[in-house]
Chains A and B, each alone.
Chain A
Amino acid sequence: LAKTTQPISMDSYEGQEVNITCSHNNIATNDYITWYQQFPSQGPRFIIQGYKTKVTNEVASLFIPADRKSSTLSLPRVSLSDTAVYYCLVGLLGYIPTFGRGTSLIVHP
């Protein structure tokens, strides 16, 4: 599995855009990038997945540059309810989800 590195924590304010970057320098050709979100006292929840360029859904956008050695999860106009831990995972489609420490995002009023 490709090793991932992401910031331990981030702070933001309501209404701002938040970008969380994940580094995965040894990503393999067939690996996908997946992000999960975990609210306090809940299990992780899949939010977005991509292979290259840009993916957008109702929750977030995922930007992947051409070299795929990093990816950025973008949360538009965050609210207090976006306070959570965000995990970046890299691996083949259908691989077994293995989680690092994630990025703890705190959104302030």
Chain B
Amino acid sequence: DAGVIQSPRHEVTEMGQEVTLRCKPISGHDYLFWYRQTMMRGLELLIYFNNNVPIDDSGMPEDRFSAKMPNASFSTLKIQPSEPRDSAVYFCASSFTGRTEAFFGQGTRLTVV
């Protein structure tokens, strides 16, 4: 397996624009996580899915953020409208039930200007 695949690797957008981050988890994994990492706040869990169903989105900062998982092999994190304070590295990770080991993608570095 190629691991968790995220796209794009880098995204620069203007304030107010919609941003969509994409993730392909490892095949067979039933948990998918979205994290955000900044110098100020460290690595924060935004939302996670189990079997494509959102379980806990309490980490999503605002209504401007939304996440979907239409099938077992694809998830999106959308920010609309984007703001400069959303600039961060966004990681997607997946794991298998009963295992603590989560596999992370390479991340998407988002810059909102």
Contact = CB atoms under 8 A, between A and B. Distances in A.
A42 interface: yes
Interface string A46-90: 100100000000000000000000000000000000000001010
Interface in B63-100: 91, 93, 95, 97-100
A91 B99 CA distance: 11
Contacts of B31: 96
Interface class of chain A by DSSP: loop
Given A99-B43, A100-B42, A101-B42, A43 B100 contact: no
Given A43-B107, A96-B48, A97-B93, A34 B42 contact: no
B100 A91 contact: yes
B64 to A, nearest CB: 23
B13 interface: no
A94 B50 CA distance: 12
B43 A94 contact: no
A interface bracket (residues with beta carbon within 8 Å of B)? 20 to 34
A95 B106 CA distance: 22
Given A34-B100, A49-B100, A96 B105 contact: no
Among B45, B93, B99, B100, the one with the most A-chain Cβ atoms within 10 Å of its Cβ is B100
Contact of A49 (B91, B95, B101): B101
Nearest to A98: B45
B106 A93 contact: no
B102 interface: yes
Nearest to B42: A101
Contact of B98 (A93, A97, A98): A93
B107 A93 contact: no
A87 B43 CA distance: 10
